[in-house]
Structure 1
Amino acid sequence: MNILLLVSAFNGLSQRAWCMLRARGHEVTVELAPAYDSPDALTAMIHAAAPDLILCPFLKHRVPAQVWQKWPTVIIHPGPVGDRGPSSLDYAIMDRERQWGVTALSAVEEMDAGPVWASRIFPMPDEPVAKAELYNGPVADAALSCIAEVVDKAADPQYQPMSQETMSRPVASASTRPQLRRADRVFEWTRSAAEIVRRVHAADSAPGVRSEIEGTTVQVYDAAVGEPRTHSATPGTIVGRSGDAIAVAAGDADVWIGQVKRPLDAHGNGIKLPAGYVFGDDVIPELEPPAELRETVYDRDGDVGILTLRAYNGAMSTRACHRMKTALDEALADDTRVLVVRGTERFFSNGIHLNVIAAAPDPALEAWENINAINALCKALVSCTDKLTIAGFTANAGAGGVMFGLSCDVVVVRDGVVLNPYYDMGLYGSELHTYTLPRRVGHATAARLLTEKLPVDATEAAAIGLADAVGPREPESFASWLTGMAQSYADPHWHGQALDAKLKVLSGTHPPAYYEAAELSEMAKDFFDDRSGFAAARSGFVHKMAPAETPPRLARHRWNFANG
């Protein structure tokens, strides 16, 4: 089947759908709706694609009538049957729904009112969860299941989707609700910490919640409930910090905030940043943050050490890399046989922190320091010769974040994770990728991955040698499976063989510093000379600028259109 993905962005869900459909033998092409300034222009390009089916796994834009009237067009809505509106997940979190769902429905004139092709219901997490985590977890899993059913049904020319009016409503509260506005999300710091965090969760990672911290107006993100109040600080004042997260006094407990954004102004604000970058390095007490916001956690299970790294949205700033390097050095110094380096179920890594770079007084210098800081992590892993290292890709990863994981001896991926093992943004790339990527997949496949710039799902990663194994999708099951695998490598017999093999590989290559020096010589030209448009690409990413066009590598039908 010839399938067009019409999306607002080629995000994690869109990439999972793209990978799954291609693996099933379908021809898949992509169009980014924001790249078109008129319905007629978009319709003309869809004519060129000549799709049998249009799927919209992530679409914030309205589908033109001339499109859905001509081609079967299915919207993947993040809500159960009967739910309508653009703030579905926000309401589900704020209203403490016990269960929620995903519905695949035909595009019609009224938003989310079309007949239903497929639907799924899932239980909401017991613990409060941020919107992005909910979206990339249960919502995305349900959406993939719906998409598979839609494609099967679309192959039957006799199939007709069901009217919503004839269907049962498994979630009684599902209804048509307006978009949540800024005023609907606002809170006072005198309220309970749990309520404040729930409101922030419902707006994370966008649009955030506007508030005031010590007289500074900011959007807040990445929140967690801290310790009950034992101080007399005025609500809304900073009472502690850990790394770049800050603790703010609330009504009954502290609220930890990981990310903030000043409103856009003439001074270039309006960039989401780790809170410590906005509120400075004033001397305030160092406190232990709640588990959700701990940047590094090290656990030991016999001969296995497990280092969990947390990087919000996968971005690793210079300062965060330095702190992670300290934790990594301590973990490597422990007398274990195996070290697992893993992310959280929401984040792994996407490499250097473009927002922090863009906000720096000298972005080129900050980028240079950032790439050197993340390279230090990679070199520590590649150069380790007394223990086996395992990378656990718990969540999606891209660019330098993928290469950081490849610095380990063994690479495993959680099912459903998508990797983007290439560099974009006008960067040559570093993180020792010229050593680690060819070592895993060979020079020809490495060159293909870096030039084609296409996503790779867990199954394909294992098939091409980018990963050694694929673990369970459910986060707790993956954690248990990962620990079991690490324990097997810690067996003295297998551990000795693995170390011998590792030393043999290292002895047959140039030292890591050789590859780093060559890569950094290229990166210097990208950072300081801006030879490939890094500054403009970075600005577009940071400020969420609409794409000027769909990248040709995704829009496979463009060649037919260009050739008439």
Structure 2
Amino acid sequence: MASDEIRVERADGVTTITMARAAKKNAITTAMYAAMAEAFRDADSDPGVGAVVLSGEGGVFTAGNDLRDFLDNPPRGPDAPVRRFLDAVAFCRKPVVASVPGLAVGVGATILLHCDLVYASPKARFLTPFVGLGLVPEAASTLLLPRLVGHARAARLLMLGEGIDADTALAWGLASAVVPEDELERASRAAASRLAALPREALLETKRLMRPDPDELAAAMQREFDAFAERLDSAEAKAAFAAFLAR
């Protein structure tokens, strides 16, 4: 499924996927999820591509789901576009580099757990407000985030919904580097180009060995997806969504 709000470019062995809906802070619609899932699958299967960059334009990574579109098209099954996108990134064999110029909310933060390198500008801010919306986290973040930052810090993010800035993300290991805003795109693409130029099979095998067990990862994502789908029908979530949309 094509989307005018997803831009896909390929150069020098790198596929760059850009969320291009700056007027809406790159809030992700069903069509955008579908387009990104397809772009990731294409890059993963293309022998000429050695790395993928995921970015957002307009000084924002993404504000997360477009809630109106999300409520009109709730993810109910394994073929839901958001599920296909999460699977495509989580199980991508090629290295993935995230370029985070600003706000990264919800799925915009949890998807970074599946990226191999995360470059952030000093303006970046990471926020996971799932519980406040009556929902649960996704993208296997309940498995991966405590492992990365420890249970206490993960609880601050996933349970309290506290946001963190770029320097904190770097200190906690969620970001690989903090780069001046005017150098962010160049630094992210340079890293991806370096990855793409390395011996391909050795690189892919190294990523495979570094990543969680695929079965464990898939099981965590399924548990979260089942709980998320159940929460969508809850009175808590409906009230939270109504309050958010009434703002």
Match of 1:499 among 204, 226, 230: 204
Gaps spanning 5+ residues in structure 1: where? 1-241, 244-293, 361-365, 545-564
Find the counterpart in structure 1 of residue 64 from structure 2: 351
Cross-structure match for 1:340 = 53
Q: Are 1:380 and 2:88 counterparts?
A: yes
**Match for 1:485 among 191, 194, 198?**
191
Aligned residue in 2 for 1:450? 158
Q: CA deviation at 1:492?
A: 1.4
Deviation of 1:350 (Å): 2.9
Contact 1:314/1:401 (<8 A) preserved:
no
> How many angstroms apart in 2 are the aligned matches of 1:422 and 1:442?
19
SS in 2 for 1:307: strand
Contact 1:310–1:343, Cα closer than 8 Å, also in 2 = yes
Q: Is the 8 A contact 1:526 1:534 kept in 2?
A: yes
The answer (yes or no) to whether the contact 1:305–1:331 under 8 Å persists in 2 is yes
* AA partner of residue 133 (structure 2): M
Structure with greater proportional strand content: 1
Residue 416 in structure 1 maps to residue 90 in structure 2? no
Higher helix share goes to which structure? 2
1:190-216 CA deviation, whole Å, 9 max, x = no partner? xxxxxxxxxxxxxxxxxxxxxxxxxxx
| CA distances 1:501-555 after superposition (whole Å, capped 9, x unpaired) | 421244646343211211022112211233xx111111111121xxxxxxxxxxx
Q: Secondary structure at the match of 2:57?
A: coil
Rounded Cα–Cα distance in structure 2 between residues aligned with 1:466 and 1:496: 26
Equivalent residue for 1:75? none
SS in 1 for 2:25: helix
Task: Report if aligned partners of 1:378, 1:432 keep a CA contact under 8 Å in 2.
Answer: no
Contact 2:102 2:124 in 1 (8 A): yes
Contact persistence 2:30–2:81 (CA under 8 A): yes
* C-alpha deviation, 1:439, in angstroms: 4.3
SS at match of 1:316: coil
C-alpha separation in 2, matches of 1:534 and 1:308: 30
Of 36, 39, 56, the residue aligned with 1:327 is 39
SS in 2 for 1:452: coil
Q: Secondary structure at the match of 2:74?
A: helix
Q: Aligned pair 1:298/2:8, yes or no?
A: yes
Cα distance between partner residues in 2 of 1:521 and 1:413: 32
Matched, 1:515 2:228: no
Greater RCO, 1 or 2 (C-alpha within 8 Å, sep 6+)? 2
**Amino acid aligned to 1:488:** R
Match of 2:97 in 1: 390
Q: How does 1:110-509 map to 2 (within 5 A)?
A: 243=3, 294-311=4-21, 312-334=24-46, 335-358=48-71, 360=72, 366-369=73-76, 372-385=80-93, 387-423=94-130, 424-474=132-182, 477-492=183-198, 498-506=203-211, 508=213
Contact 2:120 2:177 in 1 (8 A): yes
The structure with more radius of gyration: 1
Cα deviation code 1:27-66 (max 9, x no counterpart): xxxxxxxxxxxxxxxxxxxxxxxxxxxxxxxxxxxxxxxx
Aligned equivalents of 1:368, 1:542: Cα separation in 2: 19
Question: Do 1:296 and 1:327's aligned partners in 2 also have CA atoms closer than 8 Å?
Answer: no
What does the per-residue CA deviation read over 1:82-118, in whole Å, with 9 as the maximum and x for residues that have no partner? xxxxxxxxxxxxxxxxxxxxxxxxxxxxxxxxxxxxx
Q: Helix, strand or coil: the match of 2:207? A: helix
Do the aligned partners of 2:63 and 2:104 also contact (CA within 8 Å) in 1?
yes
Shift of 1:422: 4.4
Query: Alpha carbons of 1:397 and 1:451: their partners in 2 closer, same or farther (altered >3 Å)?
Result: same
Q: Secondary structure at the match of 1:384?
A: coil
Output the CA distance in 2 between the equivalents of 1:443 and 1:498.
Answer: 30
Deviation at 1:380, TM superposition (A): 0.8
Q: CA separation in 1, counterparts of 2:56 and 2:44?
A: 17
Which runs of 5 or more structure 2 residues have no equivalent in the other structure?
A: none
Pair 1:507–1:353, CA change in 2 (3 A): closer
Counterparts in 2 of 1:439 and 1:488: CA distance versus 1, 3 Å: farther
Identical pairs, percent: 25
Give the SS at the match of 2:120: strand
- Tell me the TM-score normalized by structure 1: 0.40
1:157-194 per-position Cα deviation (integer Å, ceiling 9, x unaligned): xxxxxxxxxxxxxxxxxxxxxxxxxxxxxxxxxxxxxx
Residue 513 of structure 1 aligns with an amino acid whose one-letter code is: A
Task: Count matched residues.
Answer: 241
CA distance in 1, matches of 2:218, 2:163: 29
CA contact (8 A) 1:413 1:458 kept: yes
Amino acid at match of 2:16: I
